[in-house]
């Protein structure tokens, strides 16, 4: 066998080996893409289920209106920004913004009774003002909004 033939065979073997390695790498990329897509779909399904539970709890008054609206707004932002920005969901944004300055967790516990009462009075006023629109929005989410496919999957 001549050196030229041997060089060609080695070259072809090298090309075949590189091709097989490239195929191996592409299969890994495809598997990662598939796993990423499945994880994103599972996340969307989980968020959609959580939104349905929150909306139902809000309608059944098992969840305080302010807390429910805040939780729904945050989940909607993560679930589907288009749905979150739908005019029928704006009440959740309004309540979120109206309570953005309220201390939470440890800061709430550290407030004196007078400050807590002032915040609670504001909560009561917001609930009276936004109860019907929030219930209407929660009902729409359950009946129509959550049934469409999320835009940002």
Q: What was the pLDDT predicted at 36? A: 97
Examine the pLDDT at 110 and tell me if it is beyond 80: yes
pLDDT for position 1: 74
Q: What confidence tens digit (pLDDT) does each residue in 13-41 have?
A: 999 999 999 999 999 999 999 999 999 99
Q: Please, which residues have CB within 8 angstroms of residue 94's CB and are 6 or more apart in sequence?
A: 130
Q: Which of 98, 102, 94 is nearest to 118 (CA)?
A: 102
- The pTM score is 0.81
Q: Which of 31-35, 61-65, 72-76, 100-104 has the lowest mean pLDDT?
A: 100-104
Structural domain boundaries of the chain? 41-147
């Amino acid at each position: 066998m001549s050196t030229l033939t041997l060089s060609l065979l080695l070259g072809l073997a090298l090309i075949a080996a590189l091709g097989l390695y490239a195929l191996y790498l592409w299969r890994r990329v495809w598997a990662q893409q598939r796993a990423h897509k499945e994880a994103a779909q599972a996340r969307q399904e989980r968020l959609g289920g959580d939104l349905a539970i929150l909306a139902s709890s809000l309608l059944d008054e098992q969840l305080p209106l302010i807390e429910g609206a805040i939780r729904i707004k945050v989940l909607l932002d993560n679930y589907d920004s288009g749905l979150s920005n739908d005019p029928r969901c704006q009440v959740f944004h309004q309540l979120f913004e109206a309570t953005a300055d309220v201390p939470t967790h440890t800061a709430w516990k550290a407030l004196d009774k007078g400050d807590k009462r002032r915040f609670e009075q504001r909560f009561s006023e917001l609930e009276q003002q936004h109860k019907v629109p929030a219930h209407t929005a929660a009902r729409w989410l359950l009946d129509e909004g959550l049934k469409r496919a999320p835009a940002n999957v």
